[in-house]
Chains A and B, each alone.
Chain A
Amino acid sequence: MNALFSLVSALIAVVALVVVSWFGVEAIGLDSVFGVIIPYIALAIFVIGVVYRIVDWARVPVPFRIPTTCGQGKSLPWIKADNLDCPYNTWGVIGRMFLEVFLFRSLFRNSKAELREGPRVTYASAKWLWLFGILFHYSFLIIIVRHLRLFMEPIPSFVQTITSVDGFFQIMVPTFFITDILFLAAVTLLFLRRVTLPQLRYISLPADYFALFLILGIGISGVLMRNFFKVDLLGVKSLAMGLFTLHPVAPPGIHPIFYVHLFLVSVLIAYFPFSKLMHAGGVFLSPTRNMANVNRSERYVNPWNYPVKVHTYEEYEDDFREKMKEVGIPVDKE
């Protein structure tokens, strides 16, 4: 799998999705296919798929307690234990998972190894991935929350608040949101990181570029429809409310760019359960992070533990009894 093939094939796939939806609506008039049928199917795949995947993972047993300990464990009372990096109770685990899920703590540890004359190796701080990751995930979250205004009437106050804070700078009309800029910037930087760092370029699969291009496509089409094509937002809202209240209609006259946006979102959520994007659910189940380091103080049962063939003491003594007696090692059978 070479890097260029991965990148180009993923780009072609996303461009094809854009073209299909644009012309599907513009030329063939498939408004209700792209506005109603596909979103419903995608949502169904998303919900069923995510639940299925998580249940599927949860059904697989965790035979051993294998936390990766990143701090001092709890042992003697006068040694200060680190409950967040080496949890010794449920609160520690919750704290560790909170930091992991909400602040990407492990990624914050990142460093970059560099070879130098000597030879020796040095480690520089490398927080870019953490920064881009945080920016990307949190601006995505805020954008999703902002979108709730399309599905709810009256619009909940927290959505109003977030929206007005997000549009604080009031650049352009309609207002350009800060998170839109951060989101596009973060996805672009994550992409640039992937193509410019040789190690990362080497490991990247089409799926890695596909997810990035798809998300970038969603962001760009969203900004275009709102700030440049200025699509009929009332029409969009009535479509969204219709979908939400199970009385779907695709109002005529919404610009195709909206359907491109909606279709890419549909593809993303339908693709989600089958892809690496499931890391969102998987991180909660990771046994090296969500288990407490109480290995020697609390019993842990492996549900499929089975008896194995061992070499017993009796067999051992049978092999060596005479020799043992000669050198004065006590034996069980004379």
Chain B
Amino acid sequence: MDLHDLPKPQDLMNINLNKPPETGWMDNPAVFRDGTYSYPAAGKNLKRLGMPNPREWAPTDQDWKLPDNWQEIILKGMKERLEKYRSFRLFMDICVRCGACADKCHFFIGSGDPKNMPVLRAELIRSVYRNDFTLLGKMLGRFGGGRELTIDVLKEWFYYFFQCTECRRCSVFCPYGIDTAEVTMIGRELLNLVGLNINWVMEPVANCYRFGNHLGIPPHGLIDMWEFMADDIEDITGIKVNLPINKKGAEILFVTPSGDYFADPGTYTCMGYMMLFHELGLDYTWSTYASEGGNFGLFTSHEMIKRLNAKIYAEAKRLGVKWILGGECGHMWRVVHQYMETMNGPADFLEEPVSPITGTKFENAKQTKMVHITEFTSDLIKNGKLKLDPSRNDKVIATYHDSCNPARAAGLLEEPRYVIKNVVNNFYEMPENTIREQTFCCGGGAGLGNDENIEMRMRGAFPRASALNHVVAKHDVNRLLCMCAIDRATLTALTHYWAPDVMVGGIHELVANALIMNGEKDRTVDLRGEPLGDEEEDE
């Protein structure tokens, strides 16, 4: 499905949040309507990873070609996870269905489908939990809120667990901190046990496993891409930036999502990193083996997170670097911040990160040894180490979209804002219910940012778009900033549909525009190749 096939926004949003269906939710099977679901994983990708039940199938088929004992596999998998994850166990037990989470989900606000209320998304699996794992559920059946795991229930899981972006917004509002991301992650793990997964997740996973990045770019291809960006930088600034690759003995390994090598507007951010590091004379290196900061394992299973993430520490060790610097990415930082060191640490072969430019010790990263680029850059700016001319960004009227994971899984709120305010003169916040810890998903996180799912994406994007349009109307905002590679791709579709006059971009793109580099030529264009001032338009 394509964006232009969608109805106009006002028609798309002809929904009612307060009118659930007549049929009770337990008896209302999922309908796989075009534009609202993702295509299943190709068998070859599952084979490459050694994952169960590789085959070709479609959600609209009657027969999903499941193993004969699929129920047994799922229930056994549930039991195992109830004994391994307190989060899952507790979140199955303690929900009181108060409904505080109901209208906190972007997919519910955009679709009105009650099964997109976080509480009901969790009840899809909780009903089976009660039926098979609790005393009252076993005794009372439906009266006890239990529901048998039938094929319709399984299909419903597939539909709705791949209609959650694991953004954690609901968990901010839950009085017990119940986190639907946890429920969805376990739900997807269970689905994976019988070969139910989507290609937009599994292809990047399979690629990342073998090639080191989601896009499946081999090392010689990466060099081409990076050199191409370096050439563009030379055209714009007259400076040939150094481009260290797989360099042993470098001080810092730099890891960023591969989305930034590949397509606009991510490439501008990537050029921004190169220019910043060059100007600083940073002793760093790119890696082709660990050429992916993102981790679609997060959208597959805990085991897959670990399998993909292992490359980062392994490469840091092989290259003998002191510490690791990470680029602008959302879910990457969920993994780096909350999983990496527990899964693949301790990284005792690395040193506690210290900025070679300012001498600042990044004590908050002393165990993981990985620093976020906005922590690094804001420290540079605070210490006056960068020569910046924010007026070069004067054509940009910016607002900032907090990516879900840096906001709600790491507390990275002020660092990006500090950087932004120092490199651009026009910056306006969106309304407070839609930023910081209350930020809304772009609508395409957790592997859902594919084309076939476009209707559901645009529905999920609606709360963010609505907030964006608020500042567009009030302040003529024309740039939606974010520090996430998925955002840079998905928000571009969002603005195309909901706010056509707004461009999307990363923070370090603007940093590099503003950065006065030693020996640079008189800059006339920004990183996008567009004129810096209004001179040309005046002609």
A residues whose Cβ falls under 8 Å from a Cβ of B: 1-3, 5, 9, 53, 57, 60-66, 68-76, 78-82, 85-86, 100, 104, 106-107, 109-115, 118-121, 123, 129, 133, 197-208, 274-276, 278-279, 282-283, 285-289, 293, 295-302, 304-305, 308-313, 316-317, 319-320, 323-324, 326-330, 332
Q: How far is the CB of A256 from chain B (nearest CB, A)?
A: 28
Task: Mark the stretch among B228-236, B260-268, B361-369, B513-521 that contacts chain A.
Answer: B361-369
B394 CB within 8 Å of chain A: no
CA–CA, A44 to B302, complex, Å? 40
Q: If A110-B100, A120-B466 touch, does A293 touch B410 (CB 8 Å cutoff)?
A: yes
Closest to A317 in B: B289
CA–CA, A142 to B143, complex, Å? 33
B151 CB within 8 Å of chain A: no
Q: Which residues of A contact B50 (CB under 8 A)?
A: 309
Q: Is the CB of A313 within 8 A of B318?
A: yes
Q: How far is the CB of B333 from chain A (nearest CB, A)?
A: 10
Q: How far is the CB of A193 from chain B (nearest CB, A)?
A: 8
B58 CB within 8 Å of chain A: no
Q: Is the CB of A73 within 8 A of B219?
A: no
Q: Is the CB of A299 within 8 A of B177?
A: no
CA–CA, A313 to B317, complex, Å? 11
Task: Mark the stretch among B156-164, B276-284, B342-350, B479-487 that contacts chain A.
Answer: B342-350
Q: Is the CB of A203 within 8 A of B25?
A: yes
B384 CB within 8 Å of chain A: no
Q: How far is the CB of B500 from chain A (nearest CB, A)?
A: 15
Q: Which residues of B contact A287 (CB under 8 A)?
A: 86-87, 90, 177
- Residues of B215-238 whose CB lies within 8 A of A: 218-220, 223
Q: If A66-B179, A106-B174, A129-B98 touch, does A282 touch B20 (CB 8 Å cutoff)?
A: no
Residue A320 contacts which of B182, B218, B434 (CB distance < 8 angstroms)? B218
Q: Which residues of B contact A295 (CB under 8 A)?
A: 337-338, 341, 368, 410
Q: Is the CB of A203 within 8 A of B119?
A: yes
Q: If A71-B413, A296-B368, A319-B210 touch, does A120 touch B470 (CB 8 Å cutoff)?
A: yes
7 closest cross-chain pairs (CB), A and B? A73-B411, A282-B94, A119-B13, A69-B411, A288-B177, A289-B177, A296-B368
Q: Which residues of A contact B98 (CB under 8 A)?
A: 107, 129, 133
Q: Which residues of B contact A300 (CB under 8 A)?
A: 341-342
Q: How far is the CB of A104 from chain B (nearest CB, A)?
A: 6
CA–CA, A312 to B308, complex, Å? 10
Q: Which residues of A contact B408 (CB under 8 A)?
A: 68-70
Q: Is the CB of A299 within 8 A of B26?
A: no
CA–CA, A45 to B401, complex, Å? 51
Q: If A286-B176, A289-B177 touch, does A76 touch B94 (CB 8 Å cutoff)?
A: no
Task: Mark the stretch among B65-73, B165-173, B193-201, B449-457 that contacts chain A.
Answer: B165-173
B429 CB within 8 Å of chain A: no
Q: If A106-B175, A119-B9, A289-B177 touch, does A308 touch B303 (CB 8 Å cutoff)?
A: yes
Q: Which residues of A contact B321 (CB under 8 A)?
A: none
Q: Is the CB of B19 within 8 A of A198?
A: yes
Q: Is the CB of B145 within 8 A of A205?
A: yes
CA–CA, A263 to B375, complex, Å? 60
Q: Which residues of B contact A61 (CB under 8 A)?
A: 84-86
Interface size class on chain B is 35 or more
Residue A278 contacts which of B16, B93, B341, B379 (CB distance < 8 angstroms)? B93
Q: If A79-B415, A316-B212 touch, does A197 touch B99 (CB 8 Å cutoff)?
A: yes
Closest to B369 in A: A296
Task: Mark the stretch among B31-39, B242-250, B530-538 that contacts chain A.
Answer: B242-250
Residue B462 contacts which of A71, A121, A308, A332 (CB distance < 8 angstroms)? A121
Give me 28 A-to-B residue pairs in the complex whose CB atoms sit less than 8 angstroms apart, sorted by A's number: A63-B302, A64-B339, A65-B342, A66-B182, A66-B338, A68-B409, A69-B411, A71-B411, A72-B411, A86-B411, A106-B174, A115-B109, A199-B18, A205-B145, A207-B145, A276-B95, A279-B176, A282-B94, A283-B177, A286-B90, A287-B86, A288-B178, A296-B337, A296-B341, A297-B366, A308-B310, A309-B307, A320-B219
CA–CA, A161 to B247, complex, Å? 75
Q: Which residues of A contact B431 (CB under 8 A)?
A: 123
Q: Is the CB of A115 within 8 A of B13?
A: yes
Q: Which residues of A contact B135 (CB under 8 A)?
A: 274
Residue B97 contacts which of A204, A311, A319 (CB distance < 8 angstroms)? A204
B83 CB within 8 Å of chain A: yes
Q: Which of B9, B84, B314 has the most CB of A within 10 A?
A: B84
B6 CB within 8 Å of chain A: no
B17 CB within 8 Å of chain A: yes
Q: Is the CB of A313 within 8 A of B433?
A: no
B24 CB within 8 Å of chain A: yes
Q: B485-519 vs A: 1/0 string, CB under 8 Å?
A: 00000000000000000000000000000000000
Q: Which residues of B contact A115 (CB under 8 A)?
A: 13, 15-17, 109
Closest to B303 in A: A308
Q: Is the CB of B26 within 8 A of A1?
A: yes
Closest to B212 in A: A316
Q: Which residues of A contact B19 (CB under 8 A)?
A: 198
Closest to B99 in A: A200
Q: Which of A299, A301, A317, A319 has the most CB of B within 10 A?
A: A299
B523 CB within 8 Å of chain A: no
Closest to A207 in B: B145
Q: Is the CB of A299 within 8 A of B345?
A: yes
CA–CA, A63 to B25, complex, Å? 33
Q: Is the CB of B364 within 8 A of A296?
A: yes
Closest to A204 in B: B97
Residue B93 contacts which of A1, A110, A282, A319 (CB distance < 8 angstroms)? A282
B306 CB within 8 Å of chain A: yes
Q: Which residues of A contact B415 (CB under 8 A)?
A: 75-76, 79
B398 CB within 8 Å of chain A: no
Q: Is the CB of A206 within 8 A of B86?
A: no
Q: If A61-B86, A79-B418, A207-B145 touch, does A327 touch B219 (CB 8 Å cutoff)?
A: yes
Q: How far is the CB of B134 from chain A (nearest CB, A)?
A: 7
CA–CA, A81 to B363, complex, Å? 14
